[in-house]
Amino acid sequence: MAADIDAPEHIDPNQSALLASGDKIKLTIYGEEDISGEYMLDQRGILTLPMIGELPARGLTQAQLKDLMRESFMKGGYLSRPLISVDVSALRAIYVLGEVKSAGGYPFEPSLTTLKAVALAGGYTPRASEGDFLIDRLQEGGQIVRMNGGDITPLLPGDTIIIRERIF
């Protein structure tokens, strides 16, 4: 069954920069080695840090998260003027399901398309409807949208690509 909407042919590069559940970030607070380290956003998109607790990070850019952390450390009286660096160390995987030889999760890479994802998954099975993709994509606000895709549809971290069975 086809989706009601088609996937966009072009993606705003900033869209893939939005944080979501499963992203790992490397936090460096200069002079505070015991707080610095790698942290992962939980399934709710929450980042839990020492001293300040839970921060809602889903949908934020790295710069917005850095500002939120700085404000939280200062507001709580923990650090007066923290110098913070936030880098994404691992983006969410993409998932390739359906009529491919090796379905599963694969690391996201910039400029990844549906056809490249099929190649990562070992290619099509003989029953695959080649070039006929469904893409499940998490939108801002947490809802998942199912879209139709073609061979060169660009992917985002966390996308699930479904290759359907050919109807004989």
Give the residue among 47, 30, 76 at the shortest CA–CA distance from 38: 47
| pTM (2 d.p.) | 0.70
State pLDDT tens for residues 15-30: 556 788 888 999 999 9
* Tokens 């992962």, residue located: 40
What is the C-alpha separation between 102 and 123, in angstroms, rounded? 8
Give the residue among 109, 127, 16, 106 at the shortest CA–CA distance from 118: 106
State pLDDT tens for residues 105-134: 999 888 899 999 999 999 999 999 988 889
Q: What CATH number should be reported for the domain whose range is 21-90?
A: 3.30.1950.10
State pLDDT tens for residues 41-52: 998 889 999 989
Sequence spans of domains, the chain? 21-90, 92-165
| Fold equal for 21-90 and 92-165 | no
What is the C-alpha separation between 162 and 98, in angstroms, rounded? 5
CATH for the 92-165 domain, from 3.30.1360.30, 3.10.560.10, 3.30.300.130, 3.40.50.1100 = 3.10.560.10
Residue 6's pLDDT is what? 64
